[in-house]
Amino acid sequence: MNEMTPVTDTATDLKPAKAVPALPDAQTVTQVKHWTDRLFSFRCTRPASLRFRSGEFVMIGLMGDPDPKTGKQKPLLRAYSIASPSWDEEMEFYSIKVQDGPLTSKLQHIKEGDEIILRPKPVGTLVHDALVPGKRIWFFATGTGFAPFASLLREPETYEKFDEVIITHTCREAGELTYGRELIESLKDDELLNEVIGEGFWKKIKYYPTTTREESPKMGRITDLMRSGEAFADLGVPPLNPESDRAMICGNLAFNLELKDLFENTYGLEEGANSRPAHFVVEKAFLD
Protein backbone atom coordinates (compact mmCIF):
# COMPACT_ATOMS: atom_id res chain seq x y z
CA MET A 1 0.00 0.00 0.00
CA ASN A 2 1.10 3.53 -0.73
CA GLU A 3 -0.38 5.18 2.31
CA MET A 4 0.56 4.77 5.92
CA THR A 5 -0.62 5.97 9.28
CA PRO A 6 1.10 8.99 10.81
CA VAL A 7 4.14 8.35 12.93
CA THR A 8 2.91 11.01 15.34
CA ASP A 9 -0.35 12.80 15.90
CA THR A 10 1.10 16.13 16.94
CA ALA A 11 1.03 17.32 13.36
CA THR A 12 -1.24 20.27 13.90
CA ASP A 13 1.58 22.03 15.74
CA LEU A 14 4.19 21.50 13.04
CA LYS A 15 6.46 24.39 12.15
CA PRO A 16 7.71 25.06 8.62
CA ALA A 17 10.68 22.87 7.66
CA LYS A 18 13.17 25.72 7.52
CA ALA A 19 12.60 26.52 11.20
CA VAL A 20 13.77 23.05 12.22
CA PRO A 21 17.53 22.50 12.38
CA ALA A 22 19.42 19.25 11.81
CA LEU A 23 16.73 16.99 10.42
CA PRO A 24 17.48 13.27 10.28
CA ASP A 25 17.77 12.01 6.68
CA ALA A 26 17.55 15.63 5.50
CA GLN A 27 17.33 16.49 1.81
CA THR A 28 17.21 19.99 0.35
CA VAL A 29 14.29 21.20 -1.76
CA THR A 30 15.51 22.41 -5.17
CA GLN A 31 12.23 23.39 -6.87
CA VAL A 32 8.54 23.78 -6.03
CA LYS A 33 5.68 24.15 -8.54
CA HIS A 34 2.07 24.79 -7.62
CA TRP A 35 -0.32 23.38 -10.21
CA THR A 36 -3.71 24.20 -8.65
CA ASP A 37 -4.89 25.23 -5.20
CA ARG A 38 -5.01 21.48 -4.41
CA LEU A 39 -1.87 20.18 -6.13
CA PHE A 40 1.87 20.86 -6.13
CA SER A 41 5.07 19.10 -7.06
CA PHE A 42 8.59 19.56 -5.79
CA ARG A 43 12.10 18.33 -6.39
CA CYS A 44 14.83 17.72 -3.82
CA THR A 45 18.34 16.39 -3.60
CA ARG A 46 18.81 12.62 -3.78
CA PRO A 47 20.68 10.70 -1.06
CA ALA A 48 23.92 9.50 -2.62
CA SER A 49 23.32 5.91 -1.56
CA LEU A 50 19.65 5.70 -2.62
CA ARG A 51 18.87 3.19 -5.37
CA PHE A 52 15.24 2.58 -6.30
CA ARG A 53 13.16 1.07 -9.06
CA SER A 54 10.95 3.46 -11.07
CA GLY A 55 7.43 3.29 -9.59
CA GLU A 56 8.49 2.74 -5.95
CA PHE A 57 7.69 4.98 -2.98
CA VAL A 58 9.57 6.28 0.06
CA MET A 59 8.57 7.87 3.36
CA ILE A 60 8.98 11.63 3.36
CA GLY A 61 7.91 14.38 5.72
CA LEU A 62 8.80 17.07 8.21
CA MET A 63 9.70 17.20 11.89
CA GLY A 64 6.78 17.61 14.28
CA ASP A 65 6.78 20.14 17.10
CA PRO A 66 8.33 19.20 20.44
CA ASP A 67 6.11 17.09 22.67
CA PRO A 68 4.80 19.47 25.39
CA LYS A 69 5.74 17.00 28.14
CA THR A 70 9.01 15.48 26.99
CA GLY A 71 10.23 18.18 24.61
CA LYS A 72 11.08 15.42 22.11
CA GLN A 73 10.41 15.87 18.42
CA LYS A 74 9.25 13.09 16.14
CA PRO A 75 9.23 13.04 12.36
CA LEU A 76 5.80 13.12 10.69
CA LEU A 77 6.10 10.94 7.62
CA ARG A 78 3.90 9.71 4.77
CA ALA A 79 4.47 7.32 1.90
CA TYR A 80 5.01 9.23 -1.34
CA SER A 81 5.52 7.70 -4.74
CA ILE A 82 8.73 8.89 -6.32
CA ALA A 83 7.65 10.77 -9.45
CA SER A 84 11.14 10.97 -10.93
CA PRO A 85 12.73 8.01 -12.74
CA SER A 86 15.47 5.84 -11.23
CA TRP A 87 18.20 7.51 -13.30
CA ASP A 88 17.40 11.10 -12.25
CA GLU A 89 20.03 12.74 -10.02
CA GLU A 90 17.26 14.51 -8.07
CA MET A 91 13.99 13.25 -6.57
CA GLU A 92 10.55 14.53 -7.58
CA PHE A 93 7.24 14.21 -5.71
CA TYR A 94 3.67 15.16 -6.65
CA SER A 95 1.37 15.99 -3.77
CA ILE A 96 -2.12 17.00 -2.84
CA LYS A 97 -2.64 19.94 -0.43
CA VAL A 98 -5.16 19.19 2.28
CA GLN A 99 -5.75 22.28 4.39
CA ASP A 100 -6.23 20.28 7.60
CA GLY A 101 -4.02 17.38 6.49
CA PRO A 102 -1.42 16.61 9.18
CA LEU A 103 1.51 16.71 6.77
CA THR A 104 0.37 18.43 3.57
CA SER A 105 -1.03 21.49 5.37
CA LYS A 106 2.64 22.23 6.21
CA LEU A 107 4.45 20.56 3.32
CA GLN A 108 2.62 22.75 0.78
CA HIS A 109 4.56 25.76 2.14
CA ILE A 110 8.05 24.38 1.48
CA LYS A 111 10.36 26.55 -0.59
CA GLU A 112 13.61 26.08 -2.47
CA GLY A 113 16.42 25.63 0.07
CA ASP A 114 14.18 24.16 2.80
CA GLU A 115 14.89 20.71 4.19
CA ILE A 116 12.57 17.72 4.23
CA ILE A 117 13.03 14.27 5.71
CA LEU A 118 13.44 11.46 3.18
CA ARG A 119 13.91 7.92 4.48
CA PRO A 120 16.04 6.14 1.90
CA LYS A 121 14.12 2.85 1.94
CA PRO A 122 12.20 2.49 -1.32
CA VAL A 123 9.43 -0.12 -1.64
CA GLY A 124 6.34 -0.72 -3.76
CA THR A 125 4.49 -2.95 -6.18
CA LEU A 126 4.18 -0.64 -9.20
CA VAL A 127 7.40 -1.95 -10.69
CA HIS A 128 8.23 -3.76 -13.89
CA ASP A 129 9.53 -6.73 -11.89
CA ALA A 130 5.96 -7.47 -10.71
CA LEU A 131 4.62 -7.94 -14.25
CA VAL A 132 5.19 -10.76 -16.73
CA PRO A 133 6.13 -9.70 -20.29
CA GLY A 134 3.37 -8.42 -22.57
CA LYS A 135 2.70 -6.26 -25.62
CA ARG A 136 0.87 -3.31 -24.13
CA ILE A 137 1.14 -1.65 -20.71
CA TRP A 138 -1.69 0.40 -19.21
CA PHE A 139 -1.21 2.95 -16.42
CA PHE A 140 -4.48 3.86 -14.67
CA ALA A 141 -4.42 6.90 -12.35
CA THR A 142 -6.77 9.21 -10.51
CA GLY A 143 -5.57 12.50 -9.00
CA THR A 144 -2.07 12.29 -7.50
CA GLY A 145 -2.02 8.60 -8.41
CA PHE A 146 -0.27 9.88 -11.54
CA ALA A 147 3.00 10.19 -9.54
CA PRO A 148 4.44 6.67 -9.96
CA PHE A 149 3.60 6.86 -13.67
CA ALA A 150 5.48 10.15 -13.95
CA SER A 151 8.44 7.99 -12.94
CA LEU A 152 7.62 4.98 -15.14
CA LEU A 153 6.87 7.14 -18.21
CA ARG A 154 10.44 8.48 -17.95
CA GLU A 155 11.91 5.00 -17.43
CA PRO A 156 13.54 3.42 -20.52
CA GLU A 157 12.52 -0.10 -19.39
CA THR A 158 8.87 0.83 -20.01
CA TYR A 159 9.56 1.30 -23.73
CA GLU A 160 12.06 -1.54 -23.97
CA LYS A 161 9.50 -3.99 -22.62
CA PHE A 162 6.29 -2.81 -24.31
CA ASP A 163 5.20 -1.83 -27.83
CA GLU A 164 2.38 0.36 -26.55
CA VAL A 165 2.07 2.48 -23.39
CA ILE A 166 -1.41 3.72 -22.49
CA ILE A 167 -1.84 6.22 -19.65
CA THR A 168 -5.32 7.10 -18.42
CA HIS A 169 -5.77 9.87 -15.86
CA THR A 170 -9.15 10.71 -14.33
CA CYS A 171 -9.51 13.89 -12.28
CA ARG A 172 -12.38 15.98 -11.04
CA GLU A 173 -11.28 19.17 -12.82
CA ALA A 174 -9.33 19.92 -15.98
CA GLY A 175 -6.60 21.88 -14.16
CA GLU A 176 -5.69 18.73 -12.21
CA LEU A 177 -4.52 17.12 -15.46
CA THR A 178 -1.86 19.77 -16.17
CA TYR A 179 1.09 18.18 -14.34
CA GLY A 180 0.57 14.91 -16.20
CA ARG A 181 -0.11 16.52 -19.57
CA GLU A 182 3.00 18.71 -19.43
CA LEU A 183 5.12 15.77 -18.35
CA ILE A 184 3.88 13.64 -21.24
CA GLU A 185 4.45 16.49 -23.71
CA SER A 186 8.00 16.93 -22.39
CA LEU A 187 8.82 13.29 -23.18
CA LYS A 188 9.15 14.09 -26.88
CA ASP A 189 12.30 16.06 -26.05
CA ASP A 190 13.63 13.65 -23.44
CA GLU A 191 17.27 13.19 -24.42
CA LEU A 192 17.84 9.90 -22.63
CA LEU A 193 14.72 8.20 -23.98
CA ASN A 194 15.31 9.47 -27.53
CA GLU A 195 18.86 8.16 -27.36
CA VAL A 196 18.22 4.83 -25.63
CA ILE A 197 14.88 3.87 -27.18
CA GLY A 198 15.19 5.81 -30.45
CA GLU A 199 13.72 8.96 -31.97
CA GLY A 200 9.94 8.76 -32.08
CA PHE A 201 9.74 6.39 -29.09
CA TRP A 202 6.97 8.65 -27.77
CA LYS A 203 4.66 7.41 -30.53
CA LYS A 204 4.22 4.32 -28.35
CA ILE A 205 2.35 6.49 -25.82
CA LYS A 206 -1.41 6.96 -25.85
CA TYR A 207 -2.65 9.51 -23.33
CA TYR A 208 -6.29 9.37 -22.23
CA PRO A 209 -7.20 12.15 -19.77
CA THR A 210 -10.78 12.40 -18.47
CA THR A 211 -12.60 14.70 -16.06
CA THR A 212 -15.70 14.00 -14.00
CA ARG A 213 -16.80 17.35 -12.57
CA GLU A 214 -15.67 19.93 -15.09
CA GLU A 215 -16.14 20.16 -18.85
CA SER A 216 -13.22 18.77 -20.88
CA PRO A 217 -12.84 17.00 -24.25
CA LYS A 218 -13.46 13.61 -22.58
CA MET A 219 -15.81 13.42 -19.63
CA GLY A 220 -16.46 10.46 -17.34
CA ARG A 221 -14.82 7.96 -15.04
CA ILE A 222 -12.39 5.68 -16.87
CA THR A 223 -14.14 2.66 -15.34
CA ASP A 224 -17.46 3.66 -16.95
CA LEU A 225 -15.75 4.50 -20.24
CA MET A 226 -14.20 1.03 -20.28
CA ARG A 227 -17.44 -0.74 -19.40
CA SER A 228 -19.27 1.01 -22.21
CA GLY A 229 -16.43 0.27 -24.63
CA GLU A 230 -15.98 3.98 -25.39
CA ALA A 231 -12.40 4.13 -24.05
CA PHE A 232 -11.28 1.22 -26.25
CA ALA A 233 -12.97 2.71 -29.32
CA ASP A 234 -11.33 6.09 -28.66
CA LEU A 235 -7.91 4.50 -28.18
CA GLY A 236 -8.26 2.09 -31.09
CA VAL A 237 -7.32 -0.95 -29.01
CA PRO A 238 -9.29 -4.05 -27.96
CA PRO A 239 -10.34 -4.54 -24.31
CA LEU A 240 -7.60 -5.82 -22.02
CA ASN A 241 -6.75 -9.50 -22.23
CA PRO A 242 -4.22 -11.69 -20.41
CA GLU A 243 -2.21 -12.52 -23.55
CA SER A 244 -1.20 -8.98 -24.49
CA ASP A 245 -2.09 -6.52 -21.73
CA ARG A 246 -0.39 -5.57 -18.47
CA ALA A 247 -1.59 -2.85 -16.12
CA MET A 248 -0.64 -0.76 -13.12
CA ILE A 249 -3.30 1.02 -11.04
CA CYS A 250 -2.80 3.94 -8.66
CA GLY A 251 -5.76 5.92 -7.40
CA ASN A 252 -8.23 6.25 -4.60
CA LEU A 253 -9.44 3.12 -2.84
CA ALA A 254 -12.83 2.84 -4.58
CA PHE A 255 -11.19 3.29 -8.00
CA ASN A 256 -8.56 0.66 -7.26
CA LEU A 257 -11.15 -1.86 -6.08
CA GLU A 258 -13.43 -1.25 -9.03
CA LEU A 259 -10.63 -1.69 -11.55
CA LYS A 260 -9.30 -4.78 -9.79
CA ASP A 261 -12.76 -6.32 -9.97
CA LEU A 262 -13.08 -5.40 -13.65
CA PHE A 263 -9.67 -6.85 -14.47
CA GLU A 264 -10.19 -10.10 -12.61
CA ASN A 265 -13.82 -10.77 -13.41
CA THR A 266 -14.28 -9.24 -16.86
CA TYR A 267 -10.87 -9.30 -18.53
CA GLY A 268 -9.42 -12.38 -16.81
CA LEU A 269 -6.22 -10.73 -15.58
CA GLU A 270 -4.35 -11.94 -12.51
CA GLU A 271 -2.87 -9.65 -9.84
CA GLY A 272 0.91 -9.79 -9.50
CA ALA A 273 3.47 -8.93 -6.84
CA ASN A 274 7.22 -8.54 -6.56
CA SER A 275 7.48 -12.15 -5.42
CA ARG A 276 5.03 -13.46 -8.02
CA PRO A 277 4.81 -11.44 -11.25
CA ALA A 278 1.49 -11.57 -13.14
CA HIS A 279 -0.74 -9.29 -15.26
CA PHE A 280 -1.52 -6.26 -13.11
CA VAL A 281 -0.51 -4.49 -9.89
CA VAL A 282 -2.30 -2.00 -7.62
CA GLU A 283 -1.26 0.67 -5.13
CA LYS A 284 -3.24 3.29 -3.25
CA ALA A 285 -2.47 6.94 -4.03
CA PHE A 286 -1.53 9.21 -1.17
CA LEU A 287 -4.61 11.08 0.00
CA ASP A 288 -4.01 13.47 2.90
Binding-site ranges for ligand A2P (CB under 6 A):
142-143, 170-172, 212-213, 221, 223, 252, 254-255, 258
Minimum CB distance to ligand A2P, residue 79 (Å): 16
Alpha-carbon separation of residue 13 from 4, 49, 104 (angstroms): 20, 32, 13
In the complex, minimum distance from the CB of residue 257 to ligand A2P, in angstroms, rounded to a whole number: 7
Q: What gap in Å lies between CA 278 and CA 205, rounded to an integer?
A: 22
| Distance from C-alpha of 208 to C-alpha of 222, rounded to nearest angstrom | 9
Please, what is the minimum distance in Å from the beta carbon of residue 118 to ligand A2P?
25
Query: Of 45 and 212, which has the nearer Cβ to ligand A2P?
Result: 212
Residue with smaller CB distance to ligand A2P, 115 or 283: 283
Q: What φ, ψ does residue 277 adopt, rounded to 5°? A: -60, 140
Q: Residue 255 Cβ, how far from ligand A2P at the closest point, in Å?
A: 4
CB of 288 to ligand A2P, least distance (A): 11
Nearer to ligand A2P, 158 or 210 (CB): 210
Enumerate helices (H) and strands (E) in the chain, giving the number of each. 8, 11
End-to-end CA distance of the chain: 14
Closer CB to ligand A2P, residue 129 or residue 264? 264
Q: Closest CB to ligand A2P among 121 and 213?
A: 213
> At closest approach, how far in Å is the CB of 120 from ligand A2P?
29
Smallest gap, in angstroms, from Cβ of residue 130 to ligand A2P?
Answer: 22
Q: Which residues contact 164 (CB under 8 A, 6 or more apart)?
A: 135, 136, 137, 204, 206, 237
DSSP 271: B
In the complex with ligand A2P, the residue whose CB is nearer, 105 or 212, is 212
> What's the CA gap between 105 and 100, in Å, rounded?
6
Three-state SS for 168-216 is EEEECCHHHHHHHHHHHHHHHHCHHHHHHCCCCHHHHEEEEEEECCCCC
Cβ closer to ligand A2P: 153 or 259? 259
